Amino acid sequence: MLRRLALFAVAVVLTGCSSAAPKAEPAFSPYDCLSVAQWKTLVQLSSDGSQFDAHVSGKGTVGIVYAHMSGADLCEWSSFAKEAAGEGYLTLTYTSSGSMDLDVTAAVGELKRRGATRVVLVGGSMGGTAVLTAASLPEPLPVAAVVSLSAPESYGGDNALNAVKQLRMPVQFMVDQGDSDFVDGVTELSRVCGSAHKVLKVYPGSGHASAVLADSKAKADFDAFIRTYAPPS
């Protein structure tokens, strides 16, 4: 009996010590583009049985989903998302789980949950293929426009060359002339795209994916296209 009382007393002391200890806060964010406070606001989305990180900024009824290139993460588009959020858009960047078009669909669903009524899909390289493919599928919100930069005709299980034939919303294809491995593919995607409001923009640089927008003319074209077909509200 005395032994049981002694063990109980030890357990009470240990429990009291652990509950009094302050919860450790992370010293830094795993994402260079996010502060610790921003990192703590990340949401977990689910796609094809896998979870992935997403960061939402801004507010409004027009959402923008940004899909990154292979080897990148949600930080690739973070500065663009922050800028758009400041202009009245509800924006979402994410780190892909690997299920490309399904990740986009999950992202659109999250923006719908937060009050968006339509969405713009933006992506570069792998992400460019993802948004073109996703736009051909039933989405939780109407897709007002798509911007695809440096997209290969297919990537993984996503076949953008087939998908773009079904698109009817405005689509802007962007690529740098010096990005030689992708110019022909982007040109062909534009050629077979079914939209009556498709635009092909080829710039003189050699940037890839979001880096195409380092050119001031490209950035102006990018912004103008989105504002024309999906002004913030």
pLDDT at residue 26, rounded to an integer = 64
pLDDT at residue 28, rounded to an integer = 83
pLDDT at 23 > cutoff 70: no
Tell me how crowded residue 95 is: count the other CB atoms within 10 A of its CB.
19
Q: Which one is predicted more confidently, 15 or 151?
A: 151
Say if pTM beats, i.e. exceeds, 0.85. Answer: yes
112 to 92, 108, 118, 138, 163: CA distances (angstroms): 11, 6, 8, 14, 23
pLDDT at residue 167, rounded to an integer = 98
Tokens found for residue 165? 């034939």
CA 199 to chain centre: 22
**% helix, strand, coil for the chain, step of 5:** 45, 25, 35
pLDDT at 18 > cutoff 90: no
pLDDT tens-place string over residues 116-150? 999 999 999 999 999 999 999 999 999 999 999 99
192 to 68, 157, 166, 196, 201: CA distances (angstroms): 24, 19, 9, 11, 15
Give the residue among 190, 148, 147, 195 at the shortest CA–CA distance from 169: 195
In this structure, are strands 50-57 and 43-47 parallel, antiparallel, or unpaired?
Answer: antiparallel
Q: Identify the DSSP state of 22.
A: P
CA distance 218 to 66: 17
pLDDT at 3 > cutoff 80: no
- Looking up tokens 């795209």 gives 193
pLDDT tens-place string over residues 34-48? 999 999 999 999 999
Tell me how crowded residue 193 is: count the other CB atoms within 10 A of its CB.
25
* pLDDT mean across residues, the chain: 91
pLDDT tens-place string over residues 76-122? 999 999 999 999 999 999 999 999 999 999 999 999 999 999 999 99
CA 40 to chain centre: 18
